[in-house]
Chain A
Amino acid sequence: MAHSSSQSDPLANQFAVSSKRKLFGNLMTALVFACVVIAAIPLLSILFMVITKGLAGLSPAVFTDLPPAAGVSGGGFRNAIIGTLLTCLIGALVSVPFGVLTAVYTIEFGRGNRLSQFVSFCTNILSGVPSIIAGLFAYGVVVLTTGSFSAVAGGIALSVLMLPIIIRTAEEGFKSIPRDTRLGAVGIGATNFQSVTQIILPAAMPFIATGVTLALARAAGETAPLLFTALFNQYDAKSIWEPTATLSVLIYNFAISPYKNQQALAWVAALIVVCLILVVSILARIVSRRKVY
């Protein structure tokens, strides 16, 4: 039966897509697809460059030798690998306890009150702070007071960048725990300390672990905050209070050097940083899958 308003077309014709609309739909699909391809080009080309150029210079000596002097061939950057791991570790050691305990306060005890709102606001701002400002902060607080560039100064600069990530993910973790579970613990006589340490923290652990790995992935690639905190070192740092080489600063130094060998090493270092971040990101995926709630 034809509808009253239209002519005597069969019903099916009224529902048929007009050729104009079909054309428009196809055009838009093509446009969106083109955008996806364009967006993927930088990522894929960066990865392609890093992998091809990095693999070309990769050798066991990279992991065992010290950076070569200008014009010298060979060499590696074992000190920079150790330095990156060390500064990230120091960053994590500082930011994880502060971050997790901050989240314990804002979610478990101060939920919704003035102070926790203020802390959330500060966390938002902190996550938007340019990384070089974090470096400036550590320079002022650590380098100037200790009188030396050091891994500690670098680690503290990184911890400023890691802190908001850890606070945010830990907060998400605590929020995911039902209120009833907290009442259950308190209802059988657990103190606040017991319920936080034995019930809340273990339940939120997958979230916290995800936050820590994400923060580490971010910190491992940072250069700006390390430039004038950890600085650089041609040799192995003898302690965490001495200038320390890191992969990202090594890349920066060698990439702008005029010597072919150093440029090649910068590519290898870039490959290793990318691999490090990849591994850490995959780890984050794996731990976040083991959610309790």
Chain B
Amino acid sequence: MNPSTRPSSTSDTLTNDNIVIRTENVSIFYGAFQAVRNVFLDVPKHNVVALIGPSGCGKSTLLRCYNRLNDLIPGARVEGKISYQGVDLYDPKIDPVEVRRRIGMVFQKANPFPKSIYENVAFGARINGFKGNMDELVERSLRGAALWDEVKDKLKESGLSLSGGQQQRLCIARTIAIEPEVILMDEPCSALDPISTLRVEDLMHELKKRFTIIIVTHNMQQASRVADMTAFFNAEATEGGSRFGYLVEYDKTYNIFNSPKQQATQDYVSGRFG
């Protein structure tokens, strides 16, 4: 297929009012190399949107553009327009730090700070100038991440002393504590065992009542379990031998997995490649 054509996003849930993030004709470059080509993708409020696709299709790269984390990579450049509630995130006047406070991120590998469990959660709130009751916020955030009962008696212990699954939920609690509007998750369960994965997935169902979630995942079952909307990305080789990623299809998760419009999507979700 021609990757530059606009994929059909035919969903009746997508009205202008409830769209939080709008991605219009976005291409992402690393130096001269084009990693992602011409993506159109609108994220509705209080939805979980899953980005799936084979390795190298640019889904993580795109995710990191939503809170300007790619700014940290020298030579990374975004073309097109990404807007958050109507504000162009790449406007020169925009402070990336402010963007990241509204659009928080949970990473692939749990990365708690080398601080106590309490301080891990309080850190984000504190740097955001939180003035209220910190104990209460920490408890609320840990409850929100379904971790409170396991750690309430050892809040002073290091965050690094927790198990992998607990660490990842601590990172989610840390992100909730800054009260963002959107949470980006970059393969949050790829390093977790099935039980921890299930807990994080359950958590996402809870979290989407308060937040909008964009999740990158390699696990198609996970996408079908947690996501309301799913975007399938594919990678294609150029003449030069390098690969670029593009959005193939974006639709309700049910449609992507049961009646995809594109052959490539059909092949991927049925496990024929990728």
Contact = CB atoms under 8 A, between A and B. Distances in A.
A184 B124 CA distance: 10
Interface stretch (B75-83, B105-113, B236-244, B264-272): B105-113
Interface string B86-127: 000000000001101110110101011111000000011001
B100 A186 contact: yes
A184 B127 CA distance: 13
Contacts, number: 71
Interface stretch (A24-32, A66-74, A94-102, A196-204): A196-204
A292 B161 CA distance: 11
Interface stretch (B170-178, B193-201, B209-217): B170-178
Interface in B168-196: 171, 174-175, 178, 180
Given A189-B128, A190-B127, A194-B127, A184 B111 contact: yes
A204 to B, nearest CB: 10
B98 A189 contact: yes
Contacts of A188: 100-101, 104-105, 123-124, 127, 174-175, 178, 180
B47 interface: no
Interface string B213-227: 000000000000000
B127 A198 contact: yes
Given A183-B69, A186-B100, A187-B100, A293 B114 contact: yes
B115 A202 contact: yes
B171 A191 contact: no
A222 B272 CA distance: 71
A109 to B, nearest CB: 11
B160 interface: yes
Nearest to B69: A187
A180 interface: yes
User: How many interface residues does chain B have, given as a range?
Assistant: 20 to 34
Contacts of B72: 183, 186
User: How many interface residues does chain A have, given as a range?
Assistant: 10 to 19
Interface string B134-164: 0000000000000000000000000010000
Chain A interface SS verdict (over half): helix
Interface in B48-69: 67, 69
A184 B184 CA distance: 12
A292 B127 contact: no
A129 B21 CA distance: 58
Contact of A183 (B102, B111, B180): B111
B97 A191 contact: yes
A67 to B, nearest CB: 48
Interface string A279-293: 000000000000011
A292 B107 contact: no
Given A203-B114, A293-B114, A187 B105 contact: yes
Contact of A178 (B105, B111, B123, B127): B111
A181 B111 contact: yes
B160 A189 contact: no
Contacts of B180: 188
Nearest to B124: A188
A198 B171 CA distance: 17
B114 A181 contact: yes
Contacts of A255: none
A185 interface: yes
A194 B124 CA distance: 10
Contacts of B175: 187-188
Nearest to B71: A186
Nearest to A181: B111
Interface in B12-59: none
A244 to B, nearest CB: 40
Nearest to B98: A189
10 closest residue pairs by CB, A with B: A189-B101, A187-B105, A180-B111, A292-B114, A184-B111, A189-B100, A188-B124, A203-B114, A194-B127, A188-B104
Interface of B: 67, 69, 72, 97-98, 100-102, 104-105, 107, 109, 111-115, 123-124, 127-128, 160, 171, 174-175, 178, 180
Given A188-B104, A189-B124, A194-B127, 15 more contacts: A181-B114, A184-B113, A184-B171, A184-B174, A185-B123, A187-B100, A187-B104, A189-B98, A189-B100, A189-B101, A189-B102, A190-B127, A191-B97, A202-B114, A203-B113
26 contacts: A181-B111, A181-B113, A181-B114, A183-B69, A183-B107, A184-B107, A184-B112, A184-B113, A185-B123, A186-B69, A187-B105, A187-B175, A188-B101, A188-B178, A188-B180, A189-B97, A189-B98, A189-B100, A189-B124, A189-B128, A189-B178, A190-B97, A190-B127, A194-B127, A198-B123, A199-B113
